[in-house]
Structure 1
Amino acid sequence: MISAQDRLCDYSDGNWIYDPNVKSERYDDSCKEIFKGWNCISGNKSNALELIKWRWKPRRCDLPSFDPIKFLEKYRDTNIGFIGDSLNRNMFVSLFCTLKRVSIEVKKWRPAGADRGFTFLQYNLTIAYHRTNLLARYGRWSANAAGGVLEKLGFKEGFRVDVDIPESTWVDAPSFHDIIILNTGHWWWAPSKFDPQKSPMIFFETGQPVMPPIPPVVGLDMVLKNMILYLEERTRPGAIKFFRTQSPRHFEGGDWDQGGSCHRMQPLSSEQAEELFSVKNNGTNVEARLVNQHLYKALKGSHFQILDITHLSELRADAHPSTAGGKKHEDCMHWCLPGITDTWNDLFIEHLNNVKDTVWPSSISSIKSWSCRKA
């Protein structure tokens, strides 16, 4: 059962505490699954080794240290799926590297259409990453010579987004995974990907264009509503579903293609973060809080657990790859590994442990174990 302290504790509200004596044995830059651009140690980022010395401390409770062996034992015969954009891959890689450090017998494969996945054979625990930028299916659209309602409105090309159809990369994930971590957001505020004039997002529902055409923010609401419903109806009995809140960017002086940078060497103060992310200021990085407004609205009344990583991440302007590895444009969106997504996983696992016994009664656990042994 969830303890009284856990019910009262808001793990997302706290401070970063620096401990110069910390020597992490979680994993290091030798983990081969770390994407080159995120490997800040091998990429010679000047503060890469300092990042792990900052520990997140919730105000009214403690965040337990992640014990990978205990996790593998507790979630034996379990499938865990990360569904979302590259920031969810950032989190997935962090978890993989942590577990791989203590359990080296691993099978690499692509379960349920995943982009990548691994089974820790000694424990029959599988983790997988399903890449999807918008959650919904999308692709190039061009005007038809025969004409149509969109052509009459002057549309020539763009991206068709089917708000009620999940992308094929994760369509089978709900029936495979016991635990799901979902996210979307960054691509919805990406004019460099979906130019509102040259290549706009054009939304379809039940195979027909949504009329009148709607802006991306309305399309996001429609996609969230449909994808949440899709998961609610198709997940396995007793499945635990998380929706991760938006990961903030820290571009200063312009966006990524406008000379924006992230050269800070220490976490921000709360006041600095408010200046950078306030919706009222409508700055370069405002998307984080705007996306969250849509997420909270869509998740109301659902069976999803909310994994709130936004505030604690807003403070970590120092933890992005920036120019590590000789990048042409600074990366102030993804996170260094090892780094802050390790803390995301600490929060995820603590939340997971707190809800597991209420969602997985002993009868379901027995059925799951028997099914896995039989397979």
Structure 2
Amino acid sequence: MATRDHHNYTKKVPLFPLLSLLCFTSVFLILSLSRKTSSSTPSHSNHLTFASHQTRSPDPKSCDYSDGAWIYNPDPDPKPARYDATCKEIFKGWNCISNNKSNALELTKWRWKPRLCDLPPFDPVSFLHKFRDTNIGFVGDSLNRNMFVSLFCTLKRVSGEVKKWRPAGADRGFTFLHYNLTIAYHRTNLLARYGRWSANANGGVLESLGYREGFRVDIDVPEGTWAEAPAFHDILIFNTGHWWWAPSKFDPVKSPMIFFEKDQPVIPQIPPHVGLDMVLKHMVLFVEKQLRPGAIKFFRTQSPRHFEGGDWDQGGSCQRLQPLLAEQVEELFSLKNNGTNVEARLVNQHLYKALKGSGYHILDITHMSEFRADAHPSTSGGKKHDDCMHWCLPGITDTWNDLFIEHLNNIKFRD
């Protein structure tokens, strides 16, 4: 019927309006197809995309890089991978490709997309040129080592002339000789100095309170592994938190944290979360006094764990192969709902409070990482239990470094 009507009335329609209508219809169809093609993603990741009209250039003063979603890109990047499983610095338990984790190769196909800006992968060659004659120190627990190794492997792929050395008490470090750029990792679990404590046979104030053994934590003394780092490095990235919520390491009954200040026990003794506040207060002051002129200091927020069905020593596992949905994130991490992995957000509350007004730049990786239950070594880590704390390399800590260097460029070159 439509065809017959079209033929019957063709001669009655003026030529110019008809051509205009056809042109408009063609343009509309082309734009619609283009928009559909550019926004198409696999069905399992449609919920993780944003409309393109929300994107704009990064603005360090207004862009919230933590507010975003993971976008899946199945197409191979025409550029070479930033690094692969052959990077020898990757700790064996984190090398998910070599360990044949089923989704290891998929991990690099997810890209974090902030809602109101963009976070591009950093350019390692440009970074080496911009930051030649610079010392960069990662100070913290093994999650900061995770990040340090990611940065090293990325730089090593484009600059192979590297000297291994350990500056200023570092656990490990490297200098890229052509650029005189040094990156180092200083291992410290609590930031503060700590060690085994046992009761004195002659008694004392702690003994009178019933303490027999535990771990002495000197809240006002930095651990020796990093005490010289502020005077040596031009850029510092700190973290702490995982060991403060680790009853398997600091059993509150059998081996509690016992806090000291000015070489004397704190009386009455304080719980670990209060000890964390006091340590952060003292360490912020210590770094400020020791920091070399013009140095830039970051504090990385807490890296989330993804144990489900129990903690690491209670049968907990992380078997997911895709990022979590937003509602699943809240189930695991919400303080309001007492999620099973609230540790990350609890630690962050202490960090934000202690660092307010301190001059530290906050490297907020928590929320973007909460989605990535798929990116831990899990059973491929080679442990007796699932590793749902550390991250596969290559993997999500590459994105942490993208964020770190985006902030660093904003600080160094856009102020």
TM-score category by the smaller chain?
over 0.9
Q: Which residue of 2 aligns with 1:336?
A: 392
Answer yes or no: is the 8 Å Cα contact 2:331–2:340 preserved in 1. no
Distance in 2 between residues matched to 1:34 and 1:305, nearest whole Å = 27
Distance in 1 between residues matched to 2:253 and 2:126, nearest whole Å = 52
Q: Which residue of 2 aligns with 1:193?
A: 249
Distance in 1 between residues matched to 2:133 and 2:414, nearest whole Å = 18
Partner secondary structure for residue 15 of structure 1: strand
> Percent same amino acid among aligned pairs?
81
**Deviation readout 1:140-199 (Å, 9 max, x if unpaired):** 000001111100000000000000000000000000000000000000000000000000
Partner secondary structure for residue 158 of structure 1: strand
The residue type paired with residue 21 of structure 1 is D
Q: Which residue of 2 aligns with 1:367?
A: none
The residue type paired with residue 65 of structure 2 is Y
The offset of 1:358, in angstroms, is 6.5
Greater relative contact order, per chain length (Cα 8 Å cut-off, separation 6+): 1
Distance in 2 between residues matched to 1:183 and 1:48, nearest whole Å = 26
Q: Which residue of 1 aligns with 2:67?
A: 13
Q: Which residue of 2 aligns with 1:305?
A: 361
Report 1:186-225 matches (<5 A): 186-225=242-281
Answer yes or no: is the 8 Å Cα contact 1:232–1:303 preserved in 2. no
Q: Which residue of 2 aligns with 1:103?
A: 159
With the length of structure 2 as denominator, give the TM-score of the two structures: 0.85
Distance in 2 between residues matched to 1:9 and 1:283, nearest whole Å = 28
Q: Which residue of 2 aligns with 1:295?
A: 351
Answer yes or no: is the 8 Å Cα contact 1:44–1:325 preserved in 2. no
Structure 1, unpaired ranges of 5+? 360-375
Answer yes or no: is the 8 Å Cα contact 2:121–2:399 preserved in 1. no
Report 1:115-130 matches (<5 A): 115-130=171-186
Distance in 1 between residues matched to 2:361 and 2:131, nearest whole Å = 18
Q: Which residue of 2 aligns with 1:238?
A: 294
Counterpart among 299, 318, 326 of residue 374 in structure 2? 318
Counterpart among 149, 154, 174 of residue 93 in structure 1? 149
With the length of structure 1 as denominator, give the TM-score of the two structures: 0.94
Distance in 1 between residues matched to 2:392 and 2:262, nearest whole Å = 41
Distance in 2 between residues matched to 1:358 and 1:137, nearest whole Å = 37
Q: Which residue of 2 aligns with 1:356?
A: 412
Q: Which residue of 2 aligns with 1:247?
A: 303
Answer yes or no: is the 8 Å Cα contact 2:381–2:387 preserved in 1. no
Distance in 2 between residues matched to 1:293 and 1:7, nearest whole Å = 22
The offset of 1:4, in angstroms, is 8.0
Q: Which residue of 2 aligns with 1:30?
A: 86
Moved over 6 A (4+): none
The offset of 1:8, in angstroms, is 1.2
Report 1:163-178 matches (<5 A): 163-178=219-234
Of Structure 1 and Structure 2, the greater helix share is in: 2
Distance in 2 between residues matched to 1:166 and 1:48, nearest whole Å = 37
Distance in 1 between residues matched to 2:336 and 2:212, nearest whole Å = 35
Structure 2, unpaired ranges of 5+? 1-56
Answer yes or no: is the 8 Å Cα contact 2:107–2:395 preserved in 1. yes
Partner secondary structure for residue 127 of structure 2: helix
The offset of 1:12, in angstroms, is 1.3
Partner secondary structure for residue 335 of structure 2: coil
Distance in 1 between residues matched to 2:348 and 2:221, nearest whole Å = 22
Distance in 2 between residues matched to 1:135 and 1:254, nearest whole Å = 28
Of 59-68 and 16-25, more deviation after overlay is shown by 16-25
Considering only CA atoms, is the larger Rg found in Structure 1 or Structure 2? 2
Distance in 2 between residues matched to 1:313 and 1:181, nearest whole Å = 18
Distance in 2 between residues matched to 1:4 and 1:20, nearest whole Å = 25
The residue type paired with residue 266 of structure 2 is V
The residue type paired with residue 169 of structure 1 is T
Partner secondary structure for residue 90 of structure 1: helix
1:42 matched to 2:98? The reply is yes
Answer yes or no: is the 8 Å Cα contact 1:22–1:52 preserved in 2. no
Partner secondary structure for residue 204 of structure 1: strand
Distance 1:132 1:326, change over 3 A: closer
Distance in 2 between residues matched to 1:124 and 1:266, nearest whole Å = 40
Distance in 2 between residues matched to 1:144 and 1:283, nearest whole Å = 41
- CA RMSD in angstroms comes to 1.2
Distance in 2 between residues matched to 1:281 and 1:6, nearest whole Å = 32
